[in-house]
Structure 1
Amino acid sequence: MSNSSDKDSVEAFSGDGYNPNAEDGASLTEVVTQFTESNIENGSARLYEEERLKSKMEHREPPPQPIKYPFFSAQNKPMRSKMMKIIPTIMLIFTVFILSVWSIYWGAMYNRQDRYVNMKVLVALEEDASGFVSQALIDTTRDPELETLATWELNGFTGGEAVKKSVYDEDYWAAIYVTGDISSEITTGFLTASSLNLTDAVMGYFETGRDYVTVGADIIPTLLLFNNKFRDILQSKYYPQLVDNLTDSSYVQLKNTNVLTSYPDINFEDGAPAPSTVILGPTQVGLIYMIIITFFQVMWLQQLHQLVASAVNTRAYLIYRMVIPHAFYLVTAMAFACLNRAFQIPMNNSWSGGFGVLWMIAYVTMAAVGGANENMFLICSCTFPPLIGFWMLFFVIINISGTFSPLALCPEFYRFTYMMPIKCGAELMKVLFYNTTRKAVGRCFGILIAWIVVNNALLPFCLMFFSRTMHKKIKAEQLAKLEKEAKENGKA
């Protein structure tokens, strides 16, 4: 065995030195157990390979590998004991993380049905609120089932435009209003046997753009249920009263008209419909991808940072670290805007030049979350690297919990979402795509810029913390290594 090994070592060299293409004798199993993720990260695999290559070049025996045994061998009992301590600890950490952090997202939807009453719907009555149509609307709002689905606020006649503006300003989630003195018109129709056109007699108004999912899943079904109950009340209570007041001859005349079968069904109008079938891409899932892509950027730029750090002074390096990510955010944000353009999502509903507006919204949102990701990456990687993944998931959850679920249906705890960058980015995109109210535009841009400024200001301190912490770790490792070598030399 020894002669064969010496022969292989000699054949691995040509007259000009080491031949890198020659077989080095390392088996696949040796490579798998020697070059593990942890060994590569802490540098021990690199040091071992360096020493092994040196020994070959110097024509001496390579450093011996540690003897390894089957998993359940007696020699591996200490290793198994350590495993039994490490595995439960990791499982406990994951369990605590799931129960504590994931519950933030679950909690946003917990007992959602009990908070439907937080959604206000305006019911605007006729000028004469004693009219039977208005009374039917009032009776409908008192229905026990509907009382659990929304808060129905009654108001006098204010006109259609004023009602729409109250919904546009997000004072109400929807509105139901009477367009005129409908009760008198219907009564006249009964008395004169005149056909009625009640298509726009009672109107409903909502805006899908306020919350695409919630309006479609909660508001619209509630409004349709309201309409059905409103019609039932008219049919069972108020129309029979009108018929009872008619003479036989008048009733016979009514049979030749549509009066008996004409009911003022609520005609619903969507003031901010979805401009495209793929609108959920940029306004929901795309926002999560923004967090993830900015984290990828941190990983991809590490080698570039090392290249610059090896050539410039500290001041120039710090300025570079604060500036270069924003160049990437601008390019990535433009790609995001181009993606939406490629799928033909209308962008000019609110502002002309919507493409540029979307580009800037995406940029400030990415810069806000990207700065936080970079700072936390520096802190976690020098203290406890496995925390990086936990941070990513935690940051996604606290951003989307109160963004994808309307805050009106969330517990008060989730009011913190107002200051989260993804919430602000989502609000700005709703204004852009749906032309919803702009009253929160200034606040959202202000919060995003504040995130950018704070994270940029913290970046130099995070870099110094990272460098100082890693320097201490490396110094301690080298001192321990030197002490170990000194002890071994002393024994020799």
Structure 2
Amino acid sequence: MASKQYDLQPVTSVQRTAAIEHEVMSSLINTTSREALEEQSDDLERWAEKDHSDRTTVTNNLPTSGPGADSGSDRTESGPSSGGPPGAGPGGPPVKRGFFSSHLKQKRILILRGAVVNILIMGFFMMGIISIYWASFYKRNELLRRVKIWIVDADNGSLVGTQFTTYAQQLATELDSVQVEVHDASQYTYDNLLDLVVEESTWGVFYIHDTASSNLLAAFENPATTGAQYNSSEPIEFIYSQARDQLAMGSIVTWVNEVASGFRASFALSALKLASQNYSIDTIISEAPVVITSPVIIEFNDLRPFDSAILMTVTQVGLIFLIIVSFFQFNFFQPTHMIIAQDIKPVHFMIYRLTMSWIAYFFLSLFYSFISLAFQLDFTKKYGHGGFVIFWMLNWLTMVSVGLFLENAVNLCVPIFPPFLGFILILTVIGNIAPAFYSIPLQHHIFRYGYGLPIKNLADATRTIMFNTRNSMGRNVGVIIAWIVLDHLAFPLTMRFFGLRMRKKAMAEAAAKNNAGGPPKH
């Protein structure tokens, strides 16, 4: 009986696979998108698995004897023809061993080496990046020496003005923190001082009214009439703006309270001595005791109060969310971009990507702004009802500037070292918020870089809208637009870099597949 002959080569399957691989690799070379490469690589693996299944089916149907059969040893030996890895049966699963098996010694060494390298890399970048935020708080109390508080004595060096100026200067020297500067009252009007505080020419002003001493002396002379109407909070006024930096002003106001309480006690002794020597002390105590016990109480005049805790959301914490959402836009839209990525010219694809980013950020910034409107934040203090629209437009421009920066970072990081992308996001967040959350004059000089970042300028512009603080809107918008221009100029370059590196990677994988006789491993 003639032996039945079997064709061992699944010619049709091999040819089909080769044609498919050629088509896929051609597509890989022409695409510049990471997601497209990953999707096509998955297709290649699925086609290769189908081809392997076809080969396995033919091999398993081979006879066990006869001219067309392999030897038993050939069929049970592991390798490409058996469909299984070393140590496995024909087409069977790989042998599983214990983690401490001697066969896995080299792999354990590789794992240990990789773990050490990864931990060192992550630790290095963590210390380098997160330290930026820690540094923004470093020695803040010592940096209060940079705060200058003005003393403007309109009392012309009379009793109250002279004693307060001497006491404040002495205390500033002893505490070595906030410093005081005496300014000539003839150079300013009261309204002018209010404007200077709002425009941040000074952190605050002790204004000694021109009637401070005369009203006190009049109360001593006529305790029954003038003394009964005497207001202890009128002589000295501390003018400041809490909304400039609510945290820094907390420290400054603490110092001012110390000055106020100390001077109140000190000047009470002086007033008692003066009254007992020149006036009827018994009459004063009976008719107007406040003139002796509390002759001067410093009044606090907060021109721009930070009057709601929810305002922290738009001036500080909310800025972090804005950066993160800007990054999410890129991830969410990648599958959408891939629908047309391979069907249009590269230049058109770049224009499409930029246009879609502008449109997406336009609506995302609107949703972000609506949150503040829903919680009844007041946008009318500076620009009336147009304040909300300005707030929205600022958020839109900032999202575009930050989002495109992160897209450029993705184009650079993914082909080189994708895990580093997470640290790029952290660096973007911390690098922006460290100089934006707190006043740069009260930080180390290195944080002056914040004046050139979009988030710091958004924070300043938001304070202008919400509190009517110093108006630097022109500079703020200019810096944000400058970042947008730089992002647009860099985008074609980073896209080209991404395309070239991914094309080179695809060609290397194709060459490795051809050399190994199978599809590249991922």
TM-score normalised per structure 1: 0.85
Hey, what does 2:320 align to over in structure 1?
A: 288
Hey, what does 1:239 align to over in structure 2?
A: 271
Give 1:66 shift: 4.2
**Contact 1:167-1:175 within 8 A present in 2 as well:** yes
Secondary structure at the residue paired with 1:256? helix
Distance, in Å, in 2 between the alignment partners of 1:126 and 1:146 is: 26
Write the letter of the residue equivalent to 2:357: P
Secondary structure at the residue paired with 2:287? coil
1:338 matched to 2:370: yes
Write the letter of the residue equivalent to 1:320: Y
| Structure 2 residue corresponding to 1:209, chosen from 239, 243, 253 | 243
Q: Deviations over 1:400-434 (max 9, x none)?
A: 11111211221111111110111011001000000
Q: Deviations over 1:137-189 (max 9, x none)?
A: 33123215764331211123233212211111101111111122211221222
Higher relative contact order (CA 8 A, sep 6+): 2
Instruction: Say what the alpha-carbon RMSD is for the aligned residues.
Output: 2.2
**Contact 2:155-2:213 within 8 A present in 1 as well:** no
Secondary structure at the residue paired with 2:323? helix
Write the letter of the residue equivalent to 2:447: Y
Say if 1:392 and 1:146 are closer, same or farther in 2 by CA, change over 3 A. Answer: farther
Hey, what does 1:153 align to over in structure 2?
A: 181
Distance, in Å, in 2 between the alignment partners of 1:425 and 1:112 is: 23
**Contact 1:190-1:242 within 8 A present in 2 as well:** no
| Structure 2 residue corresponding to 1:452, chosen from 475, 484, 492 | 484
Hey, what does 1:301 align to over in structure 2?
A: 333
Hey, what does 2:387 align to over in structure 1?
A: 354
Distance, in Å, in 2 between the alignment partners of 1:477 and 1:57 is: 23
Say if 1:412 and 1:395 are closer, same or farther in 2 by CA, change over 3 A. Answer: same
Write the letter of the residue equivalent to 1:162: N
Hey, what does 1:25 align to over in structure 2?
A: none
Q: Residues 31-70 of structure 1 correspond to what in structure 2 (within 5 A)?
A: 49-56=46-53, 59=57, 63-64=83-84, 65-70=93-98
Moved more, 458-467 or 203-212: 203-212
Give 1:90 shift: 1.0
**Contact 2:415-2:498 within 8 A present in 1 as well:** yes
Write the letter of the residue equivalent to 1:178: I
TM-score normalised per structure 2: 0.80
Write the letter of the residue equivalent to 1:120: K
| Structure 2 residue corresponding to 1:106, chosen from 134, 150, 174 | 134
1:223 matched to 2:251: no
Q: Residues 76-115 of structure 1 correspond to what in structure 2 (within 5 A)?
A: 76-115=104-143
Number of residues paired by the alignment?
Answer: 442
Runs of 5+ unmatched residues, structure 1: 1-39, 487-492
**Contact 2:315-2:437 within 8 A present in 1 as well:** no
Moved more, 179-188 or 85-94: 179-188
Write the letter of the residue equivalent to 1:253: T
Hey, what does 2:220 align to over in structure 1?
A: 190
Hey, what does 2:146 align to over in structure 1?
A: 118
Distance, in Å, in 1 between the alignment partners of 2:103 and 2:196 is: 77
Secondary structure at the residue paired with 1:457? helix
Hey, what does 2:351 align to over in structure 1?
A: 319
**Contact 1:136-1:233 within 8 A present in 2 as well:** no
Distance, in Å, in 1 between the alignment partners of 2:473 and 2:145 is: 27
Distance, in Å, in 2 between the alignment partners of 1:478 and 1:63 is: 22
1:472 matched to 2:515: no
Give 1:51 shift: 3.9
Between structure 1 and structure 2, the one with the greater Rg is 2
Distance, in Å, in 2 between the alignment partners of 1:315 and 1:78 is: 48
Give 1:205 shift: 1.4
Write the letter of the residue equivalent to 1:332: L
Distance, in Å, in 1 between the alignment partners of 2:248 and 2:292 is: 37
| Structure 2 residue corresponding to 1:329, chosen from 319, 337, 361 | 361
Secondary structure at the residue paired with 1:149? coil
Q: Residues 383-462 of structure 1 correspond to what in structure 2 (within 5 A)?
A: 383-438=416-471, 440-462=472-494
| Structure 2 residue corresponding to 1:164, chosen from 194, 199, 210 | 194
1:254 matched to 2:284: yes
Say if 1:54 and 1:485 are closer, same or farther in 2 by CA, change over 3 A. Answer: closer
Write the letter of the residue equivalent to 1:185: N
Percent of pairs with identical residues: 26
**Contact 2:246-2:306 within 8 A present in 1 as well:** yes
1:279 matched to 2:307: no
Give 1:123 shift: 1.5
Distance, in Å, in 2 between the alignment partners of 1:223 and 1:57 is: 85
Moved more, 68-77 or 381-390: 68-77
Secondary structure at the residue paired with 1:153? strand
Distance, in Å, in 1 between the alignment partners of 2:101 and 2:173 is: 68
Secondary structure at the residue paired with 1:102? helix
Distance, in Å, in 1 between the alignment partners of 2:195 and 2:166 is: 22
1:482 matched to 2:510: no
Runs of 5+ unmatched residues, structure 2: 1-36, 61-81, 85-92
Distance, in Å, in 1 between the alignment partners of 2:251 and 2:512 is: 64
Write the letter of the residue equivalent to 1:273: P
Distance, in Å, in 2 between the alignment partners of 1:166 and 1:143 is: 25
Distance, in Å, in 1 between the alignment partners of 2:377 and 2:357 is: 28
Give 1:53 shift: 4.3
Distance, in Å, in 2 between the alignment partners of 1:424 and 1:63 is: 62
Say if 1:95 and 1:178 are closer, same or farther in 2 by CA, change over 3 A. Answer: same
Say if 1:332 and 1:385 are closer, same or farther in 2 by CA, change over 3 A. Answer: same
Say if 1:264 and 1:159 are closer, same or farther in 2 by CA, change over 3 A. Answer: farther
Say if 1:358 and 1:146 are closer, same or farther in 2 by CA, change over 3 A. Answer: farther
**Contact 2:155-2:210 within 8 A present in 1 as well:** yes
Distance, in Å, in 2 between the alignment partners of 1:42 and 1:203 is: 70
Distance, in Å, in 2 between the alignment partners of 1:400 and 1:91 is: 26
1:372 matched to 2:400: no
Say if 1:405 and 1:139 are closer, same or farther in 2 by CA, change over 3 A. Answer: same
Hey, what does 1:181 align to over in structure 2?
A: 211
Distance, in Å, in 2 between the alignment partners of 1:242 and 1:437 is: 44
Distance, in Å, in 2 between the alignment partners of 1:226 and 1:368 is: 45
